[in-house]
């Protein structure tokens, strides 16, 4: 896989050594067991896969290269490059300006942008309408496009099944940048609707079977269906694509459920399923799959608590928290600063985004075992900082450098 030129401030000697060591021992990525960092009374287990993915490193490389290559020019980002506060802060400190916030609310009027400016498209992609607007202004979007290749893969797959007459069901968060972009691309070629979870999928199925009146659909799914969507005809032949950072198991469950609904409603057998349902499981992102599978491996370890490091508006990070907290106390932090001291940590609720201070989070045990992972937009340097801080609390800070040598 391509190696990207990412600023050293995001790299970690410790994490790089661990990842390289695991990669050499498991080149086919079949071993999802975690890595033990033994600090004596503190034992930290690191997930097999975590941190920057291909799409994130690609976006960061393009963004920082663009800044370096264009001194004196105004450089804008449509919205956050990725969902990591450190990376976005670093871009702002280099003079980059955000045109919109993460929800699509305007921060700088598009009317102020000219053909002399540079506009970077973030890793999530953007809508066709915004892309056209920028091109009409004479801004070459293809030159500064950091859209993740795996997001584009979803768009391409959607277009392929649309050409075969399928409508599209998107599993995603309707307000997320990536889902807004995917909806734009999908709805441009075929009727499209967004579902957030299985509960909404079950409701959508009731319109397929006729259990619910067609008119109710337009209220229940307001703002999440394409213009001119016809409930009676546009749900007869469907395929599921996804926001790449959703839980892969949830996307698969939603697709399996809708497939079964079609089989029962249209009395299909294995030979004619494709008449009403498209197989699209190949749109699941490799990094999302690997990170979530690695958490499954991580959770096989008996531990006192888990820590997930990532941006609070990061969808993939939130889902890692969701998985971990099903088994043990889990704390969601975006930096080592959220660990106030050995007794206090500031935890973020992955659902509400509310933060609270938790006391005695490490407990009073003579030995402590912690599980750690991070989101796909979290720099490895942040993970090392968290590890070093925890190790210091157990008078084992000097052992971090010893571990670097061990894993090299």
At residue 270, the pLDDT reads: 79
Task: Please list, in sequence order, all residues whose beta carbon lies within 8 angstroms of the beta carbon of residue 184, skipping any fewer than 6 positions away.
Answer: 126, 127, 128, 129
Compute φ and ψ for 257, nearest 5 degrees. Answer: -65, -50
- In the three-class reduction of DSSP (H, G, I as helix; E, B as strand; rest coil), residue 368 is classed as strand
Q: What is the pLDDT along the chain (408 residues), one digit of tens a residue?
A: 677 889 999 999 999 999 999 999 998 889 999 999 999 999 999 999 999 999 999 999 999 999 999 999 999 999 988 889 999 999 999 999 999 998 889 999 999 999 999 999 999 999 999 999 999 999 998 889 999 999 999 999 999 999 999 999 999 999 999 999 999 999 999 999 999 999 999 999 999 999 999 999 999 999 999 999 999 999 999 999 999 988 888 999 999 999 999 999 999 987 899 999 998 876 777 888 899 999 999 999 999 999 999 999 999 999 999 999 999 999 999 999 999 999 999 999 999 999 999 999 999 988 999 999 999 999 999 999 999 999 999 999 999 999 999 998
| Angle ∠(212,214,219) on CA atoms, nearest 5 | 95
Structure confidence by residue, pLDDT tens digits, 9-25: 999 999 999 999 999 99
At residue 103, the pLDDT reads: 85
Q: Is 54-144 in CATH node 3.40.50.11270?
A: yes
CB-based contact 18:374 (threshold 8 Å): no
Q: Which residue has the tokens 């999802």?
A: 32
Architecture of domain 8-53+287-407: 3-Layer(aba) Sandwich (3.40)
| C-alpha closest to that of 319 among 42, 10, 83, 57 | 83
Task: Please list, in sequence order, all residues whose beta carbon lies within 8 angstroms of the beta carbon of residue 331, skipping any fewer than 6 positions away.
Answer: 305, 306, 307, 308, 345, 347, 358, 361
| C-alpha closest to that of 207 among 242, 234, 172 | 234
Q: Do domains 8-53+287-407 and 150-284 have the same CATH topology?
A: yes
Pick the CATH number of 150-284 from 3.30.60.50, 3.40.190.10, 3.40.50.300, 3.40.1010.20: 3.40.1010.20
Q: Which pair of structure tokens corresponds to residue 121?
A: 């498209």
Query: Of 178, 200, 322, 384, which residue is the catalytic one?
Result: 178
pTM: 0.90
Instruction: Return the domain boundaries, the chain.
Output: 8-53+287-407, 54-144, 150-284
Q: Which pair of structure tokens corresponds to residue 22?
A: 């695991």
| Angle ∠(39,27,52) on CA atoms, nearest 5 | 65
Structure confidence by residue, pLDDT tens digits, 369-405: 999 999 999 999 999 999 999 999 999 999 999 999 9
Q: Which pair of structure tokens corresponds to residue 279?
A: 């197989």
Between CA 390 and CA 228 the distance in angstroms is 55
At residue 345, the pLDDT reads: 98
Between CA 380 and CA 339 the distance in angstroms is 17
- What is the DSSP annotation of 270-327? TTSGGGTEE--GGGS-HHHHHHHHHHHHHTTS--SEEEEES-TT-HHHHHHHHHHHTT
Structure confidence by residue, pLDDT tens digits, 102-158: 888 999 999 999 999 999 999 999 999 999 999 999 999 888 999 999 999 999 999
Q: Which pair of structure tokens corresponds to residue 325?
A: 């907290």
- 75-77: strand order across its sheet: 97-98, 75-77, 118-120
Task: Please list, in sequence order, all residues whose beta carbon lies within 8 angstroms of the beta carbon of residue 294, skipping any fewer than 6 positions away.
Answer: 32, 34, 47, 48, 49, 50, 373
CB-count burial class (<10 Å; 0-12, 13-18, 19+) for 400: middle
Active site residue 142: no
């Amino acid at each position: 896989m391509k190696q990207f030129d990412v600023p050293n401030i995001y790299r970690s000697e410790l994490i790089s050594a661990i990842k390289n060591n695991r990669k050499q021992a498991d080149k086919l990525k079949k071993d999802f067991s975690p890595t033990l960092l033994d600090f004596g009374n503190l034992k930290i287990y690191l997930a097999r896969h975590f941190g920057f993915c291909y799409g994130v490193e690609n976006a960061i490389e393009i963004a920082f290269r663009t800044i370096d290559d264009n001194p004196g020019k105004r450089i804008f980002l449509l919205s956050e490059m990725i969902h990591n506060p450190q990376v976005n802060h670093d871009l702002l400190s280099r003079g980059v300006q955000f045109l919109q916030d993460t929800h699509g609310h305007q921060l700088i009027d598009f009317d102020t942008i000219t053909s002399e400016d540079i506009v970077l498209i973030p890793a999530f992609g953007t809508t066709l309408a915004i892309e056209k607007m920028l091109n009409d202004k004479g801004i070459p979007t293809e030159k500064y496009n950091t859209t993740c290749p795996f997001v584009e893969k979803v768009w391409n797959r959607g277009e392929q099944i649309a050409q075969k007459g399928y409508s599209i069901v998107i599993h995603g968060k309707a307000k997320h940048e990536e889902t807004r972009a995917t909806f734009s691309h999908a709805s441009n070629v075929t009727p499209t609707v967004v579902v957030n979870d299985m509960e909404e999928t079950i409701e959508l199925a009731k319109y397929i079977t006729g259990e619910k009146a067609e008119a109710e659909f337009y209220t229940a799914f307001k703002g999440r269906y394409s213009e001119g969507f016809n409930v009676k005809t546009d749900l007869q032949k469907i395929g599921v694509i996804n926001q790449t950072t959703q839980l892969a198991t949830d996307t698969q469950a939603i697709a399996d459920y809708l497939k079964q609904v079609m089989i029962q409603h249209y009395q299909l057998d294995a030979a004619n399923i494709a008449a009403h349902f498209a197989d699209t499981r190949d749109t699941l992102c490799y990094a999302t799959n690997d990170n979530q599978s690695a958490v499954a491996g991580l959770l096989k370890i008996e531990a006192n608590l888990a820590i997930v490091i990532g941006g609070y508006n990061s969808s993939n990070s939130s889902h890692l928290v969701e998985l971990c907290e099903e088994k043990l106390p889990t704390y969601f932090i975006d930096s080592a600063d959220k660990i106030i001291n050995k007794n206090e940590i500031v935890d973020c609720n992955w659902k509400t985004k509310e933060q609270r201070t938790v006391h005695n989070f490490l407990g009073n045990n003579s030995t402590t075992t912690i599980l750690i992972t991070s989101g796909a937009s979290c720099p490895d340097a942040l993970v090392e900082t968290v590890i070093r801080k925890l190790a210091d609390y157990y008078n084992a800070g000097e052992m971090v450098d010893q571990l670097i040598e061990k894993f090299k």
